[in-house]
Amino acid sequence: MVRTLGEKGHEVVIYDNLSTGYRESVLHGRLLVADLADAATLDALFAKEKFDAVAHFAAHIVVDESVREPIKYYRNNFVNALTLIETCLRHKVERFIFSSTAAVYGIPERVPVTEGALLLPINPYGASKRMVEQVLQDVSHASGLRYVALRYFNVAGADPASQIGQKYKDATHLITVSLRAALGLRKELRIFGTDYETPDGTCIRDYIHVDDLIEAHVLALDHLFRGGTSRVFNCGYGHGFSVREVVEEVKRITGIDFPVQETGRREGDPPALVADSSRIRQELGWKPRYDDLAFIIKTAWDWEKKLHGKT
């Protein structure tokens, strides 16, 4: 998002505690290294700058960790988001973009899932995000703040020019872990559960390229600048791949037959999450450019190789 806003000539300020991020990933703008829990520092920043809009990305995102450490998730994803929203209200920043998640749906009755489906999260990660959506809805009703909550499905891939990509020390996401197994940085890829009620027994997810997701943010921002109302949008392509399909595709793209171990289910995983994204296509004119699993994996592969000095 910072890369894209910078390319478009926006002035960006990044507020990040660098708990999982890196200074060198900030390609544009000014970085203030501080914690969202530090309400005084946040307030001082808002007093100094006159922000037109805030995009809130700062959250913990690992589903099974959220099951093991719920307080960590509620504290950062919920309490700290409240602090940020309150700071926006105090300083009359009335455009807000929120990174939400498909995990708010829990186990949807129907897939592809629409935004109107029941929100019954099955892990603290999804619950913490749903709570923030609720706060935004209520705050938006009670004040001039307008927001767009984007429910991300499985964000994957990297900048096609390999300038920037995911850089987790302990990666947990399927495509990254598979690529690291291909590079020999992990001894194997473990498939978490082969007894789900899906055609091949493994979980199905809707993998969306990060640049298409960012385009959704840009359109959401335009919408708010046009005076648009508060909205919630799914961000996914509308079709999914099973874990086995992804692993096979990673092997094909990399040309490396890394070891795969089938193990039991991971806690908190719903069987299938696929977006019905017709709302964002219709209302914001979102047209994804990279709806292609091979391309997603290829960009992530180029990035992982660069990251680990294997180019």
- Residues serving a catalytic function are 125
Closest approach, Cβ 274 to ligand UDP, in A, equals 11
> What does the H/E/C string look like for 67-91?
HHCHHHHHHHHHHHHHHHHHHHHHC
Whose tokens are 């998002």? That residue is: 1
Whose Cβ is closer to ligand UDP: residue 139's or residue 203's?
203
Is the peptide bond preceding residue 121 cis, with omega within 30 degrees of 0?
A: no
Confirm or reject binding of residue 104 to ligand UDP (CB under 6 A). Answer: no
Confirm or reject binding of residue 269 to ligand UDP (CB under 6 A). Answer: yes
Closest chain position to ligand UDP (CB): 203
Confirm or reject binding of residue 243 to ligand UDP (CB under 6 A). Answer: yes
DSSP 275: B
d(CA 69, CA 61): 12
C-alpha gyration radius of the chain: 19
Whose Cβ is closer to ligand UDP: residue 86's or residue 292's?
292
Stretch that binds ligand UDP, among 33-41, 42-50, 110-118, 167-175 (CB under 6 A): 167-175
Whose Cβ is closer to ligand UDP: residue 134's or residue 172's?
172
Closest approach, Cβ 190 to ligand UDP, in A, equals 5
Q: Which x/- pattern, by CB under 6 A, does the window 201-230 give for ligand UDP?
A: --x-x-------------------------
Confirm or reject binding of residue 173 to ligand UDP (CB under 6 A). Answer: yes
In single-letter form, the type of residue at position 125 comes to: Y
Confirm or reject binding of residue 192 to ligand UDP (CB under 6 A). Answer: yes
Confirm or reject binding of residue 174 to ligand UDP (CB under 6 A). Answer: yes
Whose Cβ is closer to ligand UDP: residue 26's or residue 63's?
63
In single-letter form, the type of residue at position 153 comes to: F
Pick out residues in 40-69 that bind ligand UDP (CB under 6 A): 63
d(CA 306, CA 300): 10
Whose Cβ is closer to ligand UDP: residue 173's or residue 223's?
173
Report the alpha-carbon angle 291-295-301, nearest 5.
140
Closest approach, Cβ 173 to ligand UDP, in A, equals 4
Instruction: Specify the 3-state DSSP secondary structure of 50.
Output: coil
Whose tokens are 């992804």? That residue is: 246
Confirm or reject binding of residue 186 to ligand UDP (CB under 6 A). Answer: no
Asked if 259 contacts 188 with a C-beta cutoff of 8 angstroms, the reply is yes
Stretch that binds ligand UDP, among 187-195, 215-223, 226-234, 287-295 (CB under 6 A): 187-195
Can you point out the beta strands (E) in the chain?
13-16, 30-33, 54-56, 95-101, 146-152, 154-156, 189-192, 204-205, 207-209, 231-235, 241-242, 260-263, 272-273
Confirm or reject binding of residue 261 to ligand UDP (CB under 6 A). Answer: no
Confirm or reject binding of residue 171 to ligand UDP (CB under 6 A). Answer: no
CA distances from 87 to 67, 133, 184, 309 (A): 29, 17, 46, 42
Query: Judged by CB under 6 A, which of 167, 266, 279, 281 binds ligand UDP?
Result: 266
Query: Judged by CB under 6 A, which of 80, 99, 128, 154 binds ligand UDP?
Result: 154
Binding site for ligand UDP (CB under 6 A): 63, 154, 172-174, 177, 189-192, 203, 205, 243, 266, 269
